[in-house]
Amino acid sequence: MPVVLLPTPDNLQRAAERLRAGGLVAFATETVYGLGAHALDPGAVAGIFELKGRPLFDPLIVHVSSTDRARELSAAWPDVAECLATRFWPGPLTLVLPRREVVPDLVTAGLPNVALRWPAHPVAQQLLLLADCPVAAPSANRFASISPTSAADVAAELQHDPDLWILDGGPCTHGLESTVISLVSDRPIVLRLGSLAVEDLEQELGPLTVANRSVKESELQSGLASPGHLSRHYSPRTPLRLMQAGDLDAARERQQRVGLLCFGAQANSSSAEDFAVIENLSAKGDTREAATRLYAALRLLDQAGLDLIVAVELPPQGLGRAINDRLRRASH
Ligand code: AMP
Ligand code: MG
Protein backbone atom coordinates (compact mmCIF):
# COMPACT_ATOMS: atom_id res chain seq x y z
CA MET A 1 0.00 0.00 0.00
CA PRO A 2 1.12 3.62 -0.52
CA VAL A 3 2.37 5.60 2.48
CA VAL A 4 -0.08 8.11 3.98
CA LEU A 5 1.69 11.08 5.60
CA LEU A 6 0.25 13.79 7.82
CA PRO A 7 1.20 17.25 6.56
CA THR A 8 3.74 18.04 9.29
CA PRO A 9 6.45 20.56 8.36
CA ASP A 10 8.92 17.69 8.15
CA ASN A 11 6.73 15.55 5.88
CA LEU A 12 5.88 18.51 3.64
CA GLN A 13 9.60 19.23 3.24
CA ARG A 14 10.40 15.60 2.40
CA ALA A 15 7.50 15.42 -0.05
CA ALA A 16 8.63 18.65 -1.72
CA GLU A 17 12.15 17.25 -2.09
CA ARG A 18 10.73 14.08 -3.59
CA LEU A 19 8.80 16.12 -6.17
CA ARG A 20 11.85 18.18 -7.05
CA ALA A 21 13.85 14.99 -7.54
CA GLY A 22 11.34 13.66 -10.08
CA GLY A 23 9.23 11.50 -7.77
CA LEU A 24 5.45 11.30 -7.47
CA VAL A 25 3.49 12.66 -4.50
CA ALA A 26 -0.29 12.56 -4.12
CA PHE A 27 -1.68 15.49 -2.16
CA ALA A 28 -4.88 17.09 -0.96
CA THR A 29 -6.41 19.99 -2.86
CA GLU A 30 -9.77 21.62 -2.23
CA THR A 31 -11.24 19.91 -5.32
CA VAL A 32 -10.01 16.29 -5.34
CA TYR A 33 -6.69 14.63 -4.43
CA GLY A 34 -4.03 15.16 -7.09
CA LEU A 35 -1.20 12.91 -8.24
CA GLY A 36 1.68 15.35 -8.62
CA ALA A 37 4.98 15.41 -10.50
CA HIS A 38 7.49 18.15 -11.40
CA ALA A 39 5.74 19.69 -14.41
CA LEU A 40 8.94 20.66 -16.22
CA ASP A 41 10.48 17.17 -15.90
CA PRO A 42 9.06 14.92 -18.66
CA GLY A 43 10.40 11.79 -16.97
CA ALA A 44 8.55 12.63 -13.79
CA VAL A 45 5.37 13.47 -15.68
CA ALA A 46 5.58 10.15 -17.53
CA GLY A 47 5.31 8.48 -14.12
CA ILE A 48 1.83 9.99 -13.66
CA PHE A 49 0.56 8.48 -16.90
CA GLU A 50 2.07 5.13 -16.04
CA LEU A 51 0.65 4.94 -12.51
CA LYS A 52 -2.83 6.10 -13.54
CA GLY A 53 -2.97 4.06 -16.73
CA ARG A 54 -3.89 7.36 -18.39
CA PRO A 55 -3.62 7.70 -22.18
CA LEU A 56 -0.79 10.00 -23.27
CA PHE A 57 -3.12 12.21 -25.31
CA ASP A 58 -4.76 13.59 -22.13
CA PRO A 59 -3.29 16.95 -21.07
CA LEU A 60 -2.60 17.65 -17.37
CA ILE A 61 -3.36 20.67 -15.22
CA VAL A 62 -0.25 22.45 -13.93
CA HIS A 63 -0.50 23.68 -10.33
CA VAL A 64 1.36 26.81 -9.28
CA SER A 65 1.93 28.74 -6.06
CA SER A 66 0.97 32.21 -7.30
CA THR A 67 -0.40 34.18 -10.24
CA ASP A 68 3.15 35.30 -11.08
CA ARG A 69 4.23 31.67 -11.35
CA ALA A 70 1.32 31.01 -13.70
CA ARG A 71 2.38 33.92 -15.91
CA GLU A 72 5.86 32.40 -16.20
CA LEU A 73 4.34 29.39 -17.96
CA SER A 74 1.93 31.16 -20.31
CA ALA A 75 2.94 32.94 -23.50
CA ALA A 76 0.08 35.43 -23.15
CA TRP A 77 -1.80 36.83 -20.17
CA PRO A 78 -4.89 38.63 -21.45
CA ASP A 79 -6.97 40.97 -19.28
CA VAL A 80 -9.56 38.26 -18.84
CA ALA A 81 -6.92 35.99 -17.25
CA GLU A 82 -5.92 38.75 -14.84
CA CYS A 83 -9.57 39.40 -14.01
CA LEU A 84 -10.33 35.74 -13.28
CA ALA A 85 -7.10 35.12 -11.38
CA THR A 86 -7.71 38.16 -9.20
CA ARG A 87 -11.28 37.14 -8.47
CA PHE A 88 -11.02 33.35 -8.13
CA TRP A 89 -7.40 32.38 -7.32
CA PRO A 90 -6.35 30.63 -5.26
CA GLY A 91 -9.32 28.36 -5.88
CA PRO A 92 -11.07 25.71 -7.98
CA LEU A 93 -10.66 27.40 -11.38
CA THR A 94 -8.26 26.28 -14.14
CA LEU A 95 -7.24 28.72 -16.89
CA VAL A 96 -6.18 27.40 -20.30
CA LEU A 97 -3.71 29.77 -21.97
CA PRO A 98 -1.07 29.65 -24.72
CA ARG A 99 1.93 27.83 -23.31
CA ARG A 100 5.58 28.75 -23.18
CA GLU A 101 8.24 26.45 -24.62
CA VAL A 102 9.39 25.31 -21.16
CA VAL A 103 6.18 23.33 -20.66
CA PRO A 104 6.83 19.79 -21.96
CA ASP A 105 4.66 18.29 -24.70
CA LEU A 106 3.77 15.44 -22.39
CA VAL A 107 2.01 17.88 -20.05
CA THR A 108 -0.08 19.54 -22.77
CA ALA A 109 -0.50 16.41 -24.92
CA GLY A 110 1.18 18.34 -27.70
CA LEU A 111 -1.38 21.16 -27.57
CA PRO A 112 -0.13 24.74 -27.90
CA ASN A 113 -1.96 25.57 -24.64
CA VAL A 114 -1.36 24.88 -20.97
CA ALA A 115 -3.93 24.53 -18.18
CA LEU A 116 -2.97 26.42 -15.00
CA ARG A 117 -4.37 26.51 -11.47
CA TRP A 118 -3.34 28.01 -8.13
CA PRO A 119 -5.10 25.79 -5.60
CA ALA A 120 -6.43 27.05 -2.26
CA HIS A 121 -5.88 24.03 -0.01
CA PRO A 122 -3.15 24.77 2.57
CA VAL A 123 -1.45 21.39 2.01
CA ALA A 124 -1.27 21.98 -1.75
CA GLN A 125 -0.07 25.54 -1.22
CA GLN A 126 2.69 24.61 1.22
CA LEU A 127 3.85 21.74 -0.97
CA LEU A 128 3.99 23.99 -4.05
CA LEU A 129 5.89 26.70 -2.18
CA LEU A 130 8.41 24.26 -0.74
CA ALA A 131 8.89 22.36 -4.01
CA ASP A 132 9.38 25.70 -5.76
CA CYS A 133 8.40 24.25 -9.12
CA PRO A 134 5.17 23.89 -11.09
CA VAL A 135 3.43 20.59 -10.36
CA ALA A 136 1.40 18.69 -12.95
CA ALA A 137 -1.37 16.83 -11.18
CA PRO A 138 -4.45 15.00 -12.46
CA SER A 139 -6.83 13.35 -10.03
CA ALA A 140 -5.09 10.57 -8.09
CA ASN A 141 -7.18 7.68 -9.37
CA ARG A 142 -6.85 4.99 -12.02
CA PHE A 143 -7.88 6.39 -15.41
CA ALA A 144 -11.67 6.77 -15.87
CA SER A 145 -12.36 5.68 -12.28
CA ILE A 146 -13.98 7.67 -9.44
CA SER A 147 -11.92 10.67 -8.29
CA PRO A 148 -10.51 10.46 -4.74
CA THR A 149 -11.70 12.91 -2.08
CA SER A 150 -9.70 11.48 0.83
CA ALA A 151 -6.23 10.03 1.40
CA ALA A 152 -7.82 6.61 1.95
CA ASP A 153 -9.49 6.83 -1.48
CA VAL A 154 -6.10 7.51 -3.09
CA ALA A 155 -4.51 4.58 -1.26
CA ALA A 156 -7.32 2.31 -2.48
CA GLU A 157 -7.11 3.55 -6.08
CA LEU A 158 -3.33 3.43 -6.38
CA GLN A 159 -2.63 0.53 -4.03
CA HIS A 160 -0.41 -1.12 -6.65
CA ASP A 161 2.31 1.46 -5.90
CA PRO A 162 3.83 0.81 -2.46
CA ASP A 163 6.33 3.66 -3.00
CA LEU A 164 3.71 6.36 -3.49
CA TRP A 165 3.49 9.06 -0.82
CA ILE A 166 0.11 10.60 -0.04
CA LEU A 167 -0.07 13.89 1.86
CA ASP A 168 -3.25 13.67 3.90
CA GLY A 169 -5.14 16.98 4.09
CA GLY A 170 -8.44 15.54 5.26
CA PRO A 171 -11.59 15.25 3.15
CA CYS A 172 -11.75 17.67 0.19
CA THR A 173 -13.90 20.70 0.90
CA HIS A 174 -15.28 20.95 -2.66
CA GLY A 175 -15.12 17.34 -3.80
CA LEU A 176 -15.49 18.01 -7.54
CA GLU A 177 -12.72 18.80 -10.04
CA SER A 178 -11.88 22.41 -10.91
CA THR A 179 -13.88 24.29 -13.50
CA VAL A 180 -11.77 24.63 -16.66
CA ILE A 181 -12.09 27.72 -18.87
CA SER A 182 -10.18 28.29 -22.09
CA LEU A 183 -8.93 31.83 -22.73
CA VAL A 184 -7.07 31.12 -25.96
CA SER A 185 -9.62 32.42 -28.45
CA ASP A 186 -11.60 35.66 -28.68
CA ARG A 187 -14.32 34.41 -26.38
CA PRO A 188 -13.78 32.41 -23.19
CA ILE A 189 -15.20 28.87 -23.34
CA VAL A 190 -15.92 26.64 -20.35
CA LEU A 191 -14.25 23.32 -21.20
CA ARG A 192 -15.26 21.46 -18.07
CA LEU A 193 -17.96 22.11 -15.49
CA GLY A 194 -16.58 21.88 -11.97
CA SER A 195 -16.36 23.20 -8.44
CA LEU A 196 -16.78 26.84 -9.43
CA ALA A 197 -20.34 27.38 -10.69
CA VAL A 198 -20.67 28.82 -14.21
CA GLU A 199 -23.00 31.43 -12.73
CA ASP A 200 -20.07 32.76 -10.64
CA LEU A 201 -17.91 33.08 -13.76
CA GLU A 202 -20.76 34.74 -15.65
CA GLN A 203 -20.97 37.44 -12.99
CA GLU A 204 -17.48 38.50 -14.08
CA LEU A 205 -17.64 37.73 -17.81
CA GLY A 206 -21.28 37.80 -18.89
CA PRO A 207 -22.98 34.84 -20.63
CA LEU A 208 -20.58 31.94 -21.33
CA THR A 209 -20.46 29.07 -23.77
CA VAL A 210 -20.03 25.63 -22.22
CA ALA A 211 -18.33 23.10 -24.49
CA ASN A 212 -20.70 20.29 -23.71
CA ARG A 213 -19.17 17.71 -25.96
CA SER A 214 -19.01 14.07 -25.12
CA VAL A 215 -16.22 12.34 -26.94
CA LYS A 216 -15.00 8.83 -27.40
CA GLU A 217 -11.44 7.90 -26.50
CA SER A 218 -10.53 7.67 -30.18
CA GLU A 219 -11.64 11.28 -30.74
CA LEU A 220 -9.36 12.50 -27.97
CA GLN A 221 -6.39 11.69 -30.13
CA SER A 222 -7.27 14.61 -32.40
CA GLY A 223 -6.04 16.74 -29.48
CA LEU A 224 -9.13 18.93 -29.57
CA ALA A 225 -10.93 17.36 -26.70
CA SER A 226 -9.95 16.91 -23.07
CA PRO A 227 -10.17 13.96 -20.70
CA GLY A 228 -13.02 15.37 -18.65
CA HIS A 229 -15.02 15.22 -21.89
CA LEU A 230 -14.75 11.47 -22.27
CA SER A 231 -18.18 9.95 -22.49
CA ARG A 232 -17.05 7.33 -19.97
CA HIS A 233 -15.28 8.82 -16.97
CA TYR A 234 -15.72 9.00 -13.21
CA SER A 235 -17.17 5.50 -13.43
CA PRO A 236 -18.00 3.01 -10.70
CA ARG A 237 -17.68 -0.68 -11.64
CA THR A 238 -21.36 -1.22 -10.91
CA PRO A 239 -23.62 -0.19 -13.83
CA LEU A 240 -25.19 3.20 -13.19
CA ARG A 241 -28.44 4.49 -14.69
CA LEU A 242 -29.23 8.18 -14.63
CA MET A 243 -32.90 9.17 -14.29
CA GLN A 244 -35.06 12.26 -14.04
CA ALA A 245 -36.58 12.76 -10.58
CA GLY A 246 -40.11 12.20 -11.98
CA ASP A 247 -39.18 8.77 -13.40
CA LEU A 248 -38.03 7.27 -10.13
CA ASP A 249 -41.00 4.92 -9.81
CA ALA A 250 -39.96 3.31 -13.10
CA ALA A 251 -36.72 2.25 -11.44
CA ARG A 252 -38.38 -0.71 -9.67
CA GLU A 253 -36.33 -3.75 -10.58
CA ARG A 254 -37.50 -6.31 -8.06
CA GLN A 255 -35.15 -9.09 -9.16
CA GLN A 256 -32.10 -7.00 -8.53
CA ARG A 257 -30.28 -5.30 -5.68
CA VAL A 258 -30.56 -1.68 -6.66
CA GLY A 259 -28.94 1.29 -4.90
CA LEU A 260 -30.22 4.85 -5.12
CA LEU A 261 -28.14 8.00 -5.37
CA CYS A 262 -30.44 10.94 -4.77
CA PHE A 263 -30.71 14.53 -3.63
CA GLY A 264 -33.01 16.56 -1.41
CA ALA A 265 -36.51 15.18 -0.99
CA GLN A 266 -36.23 12.73 -3.92
CA ALA A 267 -35.78 9.74 -1.59
CA ASN A 268 -39.12 10.41 0.09
CA SER A 269 -40.90 9.17 -3.00
CA SER A 270 -43.12 6.10 -2.67
CA SER A 271 -40.52 3.86 -4.31
CA ALA A 272 -37.87 4.41 -1.64
CA GLU A 273 -38.38 0.98 -0.06
CA ASP A 274 -37.43 -0.69 -3.36
CA PHE A 275 -33.80 0.21 -2.90
CA ALA A 276 -31.26 -1.87 -1.01
CA VAL A 277 -29.14 1.18 -0.21
CA ILE A 278 -29.93 4.88 -0.43
CA GLU A 279 -27.26 7.58 -0.52
CA ASN A 280 -28.69 11.07 -0.30
CA LEU A 281 -26.12 13.64 -1.47
CA SER A 282 -27.79 16.40 0.52
CA ALA A 283 -31.03 15.91 2.42
CA LYS A 284 -31.45 19.67 2.68
CA GLY A 285 -31.02 20.09 -1.08
CA ASP A 286 -27.71 21.99 -1.05
CA THR A 287 -25.71 21.44 -4.27
CA ARG A 288 -22.42 22.39 -2.58
CA GLU A 289 -22.88 19.72 0.04
CA ALA A 290 -23.86 17.31 -2.75
CA ALA A 291 -20.65 18.05 -4.66
CA THR A 292 -18.58 17.39 -1.56
CA ARG A 293 -20.21 14.00 -1.07
CA LEU A 294 -20.63 12.83 -4.68
CA TYR A 295 -17.54 10.66 -5.16
CA ALA A 296 -17.60 9.19 -1.65
CA ALA A 297 -21.24 8.21 -2.16
CA LEU A 298 -20.41 6.60 -5.53
CA ARG A 299 -17.62 4.65 -3.86
CA LEU A 300 -19.93 3.45 -1.07
CA LEU A 301 -22.56 2.32 -3.57
CA ASP A 302 -19.92 0.65 -5.71
CA GLN A 303 -18.81 -1.41 -2.69
CA ALA A 304 -22.33 -2.40 -1.62
CA GLY A 305 -22.58 -5.47 -3.87
CA LEU A 306 -25.34 -3.97 -6.02
CA ASP A 307 -26.51 -5.03 -9.49
CA LEU A 308 -27.40 -1.49 -10.43
CA ILE A 309 -27.03 2.07 -9.16
CA VAL A 310 -29.88 4.41 -10.02
CA ALA A 311 -28.87 8.07 -9.85
CA VAL A 312 -31.34 10.91 -10.03
CA GLU A 313 -30.49 14.14 -11.85
CA LEU A 314 -30.11 17.26 -9.73
CA PRO A 315 -31.79 20.56 -10.55
CA PRO A 316 -29.47 22.05 -13.21
CA GLN A 317 -28.46 25.16 -11.26
CA GLY A 318 -25.14 26.03 -9.65
CA LEU A 319 -23.07 22.92 -8.99
CA GLY A 320 -26.06 20.76 -9.97
CA ARG A 321 -24.96 21.12 -13.61
CA ALA A 322 -21.43 19.89 -12.88
CA ILE A 323 -22.75 16.98 -10.79
CA ASN A 324 -25.17 15.95 -13.57
CA ASP A 325 -22.25 16.08 -16.02
CA ARG A 326 -20.28 13.63 -13.85
CA LEU A 327 -23.30 11.34 -13.37
CA ARG A 328 -23.93 11.28 -17.11
CA ARG A 329 -20.36 10.15 -17.75
CA ALA A 330 -20.47 7.69 -14.85
CA SER A 331 -23.61 6.18 -16.40
CA HIS A 332 -22.08 5.60 -19.80
P1 AMP B 1 -7.81 16.01 -14.76
O2 AMP B 1 -6.34 16.25 -14.73
O3 AMP B 1 -8.16 14.56 -14.80
O4 AMP B 1 -8.52 16.78 -13.70
O5 AMP B 1 -8.32 16.60 -16.16
C6 AMP B 1 -7.64 17.64 -16.79
C7 AMP B 1 -8.61 18.62 -17.39
O8 AMP B 1 -7.91 19.80 -17.70
C9 AMP B 1 -9.24 18.20 -18.67
O10 AMP B 1 -10.55 17.78 -18.50
C11 AMP B 1 -9.22 19.41 -19.58
O12 AMP B 1 -10.49 20.02 -19.56
C13 AMP B 1 -8.25 20.31 -18.98
N14 AMP B 1 -7.00 20.54 -19.71
C15 AMP B 1 -5.77 20.29 -19.26
N16 AMP B 1 -4.85 20.71 -20.12
C17 AMP B 1 -5.50 21.25 -21.14
C18 AMP B 1 -5.09 21.88 -22.36
N19 AMP B 1 -3.79 22.05 -22.66
N20 AMP B 1 -6.04 22.31 -23.19
C21 AMP B 1 -7.34 22.15 -22.88
N22 AMP B 1 -7.79 21.59 -21.74
C23 AMP B 1 -6.89 21.14 -20.89
MG1 MG C 1 -9.48 12.90 -13.36
Give the pLDDT confidence of 222-244 residue by residue, as tens digits.
444 455 556 667 789 999 999 98
Measured from the CB, is residue 108 less than 6 Å from ligand 1?
Answer: yes
Query: Distances from the Cα of 47 to the Cαs of 22, 178, 222, 259, in angstroms?
Result: 9, 22, 23, 36
Please report the atom of ligand 1 found closest to the CA of residue 180.
12
Mean pLDDT of 207-229: 61
Residue 37 has pLDDT above 50, yes or no: yes
**Mean pLDDT score of the chain, rounded to an integer?**
91
Question: Which pLDDT score is estimated for 248?
Answer: 74
Least confident stretch, 76-80, 90-94, 165-169, 246-250: 246-250
- Amino acid in position 45: V
Q: What residue's CA is closest to ligand 1, atom 10?
A: 228
Whether the CB of 191 sits within 6 Å of ligand 1? yes
Is residue 62 within 6 Å of ligand 1 at its C-beta?
Answer: no
Ligand 2 ion local residues (Cβ < 5 A): 139
Right CATH for 240-330 from 3.40.50.11030, 3.40.50.150, 3.30.930.10, 2.60.40.10: 3.40.50.11030
State how far the alpha carbon of 71 is from the alpha carbons of 79, 115, 185, 187, 206, in Å.
12, 12, 17, 20, 24
Write out the residue limits of the CATH 3.90.870.10 domain(s) in the chain: 3-219
- Which helix (H) or strand (E) segment is 61 a member of? strand 61-63
Q: Which of 219, 226, 232, 295 to mutate for ligand 1's pocket (most ligand atoms within 8 Å of CB)?
A: 226
How does DSSP classify residue 181? E
Ligand 1 pocket member 177 (CB < 6 A):
yes
Residue intervals in the chain for CATH 3.40.50.11030: 240-330
Tell me which of 249 and 230 has the higher pLDDT.
249
Q: Hey, which CATH number is domain 3-219, 3.40.50.300, 3.40.50.800, 2.40.37.10, 3.90.870.10?
A: 3.90.870.10
- Please state the pTM of the whole predicted model: 0.90
Tell me the HSE value of 174 on the side-chain side, using a 13 A CA sphere.
24
For residues 47 and 53, give the distance between their C-alpha atoms in angstroms, rounded to a whole number.
Answer: 10
Instruction: Give the pLDDT confidence score for residue 212 in this predicted structure.
Output: 65
Q: Taking 60 as the threshold, does the pLDDT of residue 93 lie above it?
A: yes
Alpha helix locations (H) across the chain?
Answer: 9-20, 42-52, 67-71, 79-88, 105-108, 122-131, 151-157, 198-205, 217-220, 287-302, 319-330
Q: How far apart are the CA of 266 and the centre of ligand 2, in A?
A: 28
Does ligand 1 come within 6 angstroms of the Cβ of 114? yes
CA separation for the pair 174, 265 (Å, rounded) = 22
Testing ligand 1's pocket by substitution, the residue of 61, 229, 234 carrying the most ligand atoms inside 8 A of its CB is: 61
Model confidence at 220: pLDDT above 70:
no
Per-residue pLDDT of 251-296, as tens digits, reads 666 668 999 999 998 877 656 778 999 999 999 999 999 999 999 9
The share of the chain scoring above pLDDT 70, in percent, equals 91
Please state the separation of Cα 264 from the chain's center in Å: 23
